[in-house]
Amino acid sequence: MTPDEDILSPDDRDFVTALASGLEVILAFGETHPRMTLSEVAARTGMNRARARRFLLTLHALGYVRKQGRNFELAPRVLQLGYAFLSSNDYRSVIQQMLEDITRQCGESSSLGVLDGEEVTYMARSSSPHRLLAITLSVGTRLPAAHTSMGRVLLAQLPEAKLDAWLAGIALEQHTDKTITDKDELKRCILEVRRQGYAIADQELDSGLRSLAVPAFDANGKLLGAINISTNAARIDHDTLIQEYLPLLQQKAQEIHATIS
């Protein structure tokens, strides 16, 4: 989605550093670091031990963090932060139905993602029985935007200057032998996505993973995110993506546009 024009910089007088640091501590926890000591939290956030300790103890007092011996972990109350966002976006139930329709019609997984910094965040998902990645994809999963079909569709919606700034600020990581790691080549790819209205990511993030995505707008032209179909490259070829799956995705995008205001 297009970044907010009025976003504050950290040196702005209205920027609350303590709030930003508290959120940074929460975000330090994740699938690879579900439980950490004070020293580990300090290292992951770049804070000194005293500062990290104050934030952890405050979050513990508020019920967002649990303490077990020397270890800290997120408490279930953190889910309220995500639920507040999800419940305020009532279009998700409509999109969820659309994604489930896609899965029923083609037998493949389908998702809605939004751009968040350098990553795409999964906001809704309909899973097929086929396992595509080593990780489990679900609502809240984050993947690098540069190497995903949804990410490239969303990047294609950015104005030229913001796209250039985004490209200048990222480091491209090699995931497979097909991963695009040259920024000029990636920009050409994104501009082609902008021209044609859809993106295909072919085994750039994970060997065997092939995906197709299109943008989804509401009735007022506001970008809601990107919807995709992800499949196994050994099972579904490029022609099938274009001839069968692309019309299906475009149809669902049109239905979203006509339904959500």
Q: Which helix (H) or strand (E) holds 36?
A: strand 35-37
What's the CA gap between 186 and 232, in Å, rounded? 23
Of 261, 249, 219, the closest CA to residue 109 belongs to: 249
pLDDT mean across residues, the chain: 89
Of 137, 192, 148, 139, the closest CA to residue 172 belongs to: 148
Q: Which residues, including other chains, have CB under 8 Å from residue 178's CB and lie 6 or more apart?
A: 202, 203, 204
Of 141, 143, 19, 29, the closest CA to residue 76 belongs to: 29
DSSP annotation of 242 reads I
Q: Which residues, including other chains, have CB under 8 Å from residue 199's CB and lie 6 or more apart?
A: 149, 150, 152, 153, 156, 193, 212, 213, 214
| Cβ atoms of 156 and 193 closer than 8 Å | yes
Residue with token string 């200057």: 161
Model confidence at 238: pLDDT above 50 = yes
What's the CA gap between 248 and 108, in Å, rounded? 12
| Cβ atoms of 59 and 28 closer than 8 Å | no
52-66, 116-130, 240-254: the lowest-pLDDT one: 116-130
In this structure, what token pair is assigned to residue 240? 């099938």
Q: What is the pLDDT of residues 119-149, one digit of tens each?
A: 999 999 998 876 655 556 778 889 999 999 9
Model confidence at 169: pLDDT above 80 = yes
Per DSSP, the three-state class of 76 is helix
The residue among 78 and 198 whose pLDDT is bigger is 198
Residue with token string 């250039």: 164
How far CA 74 is from CA of 52, 132, 148, in Å, comes to 15, 28, 29
The residue among 7 and 69 whose pLDDT is bigger is 69
Q: Are strands 109-116 and 119-126 parallel, antiparallel or unpaired?
A: antiparallel
Q: What is the pLDDT of residues 211-226, one digit of tens each?
A: 999 999 988 899 999 9
What's the CA gap between 86 and 91, in Å, rounded? 9
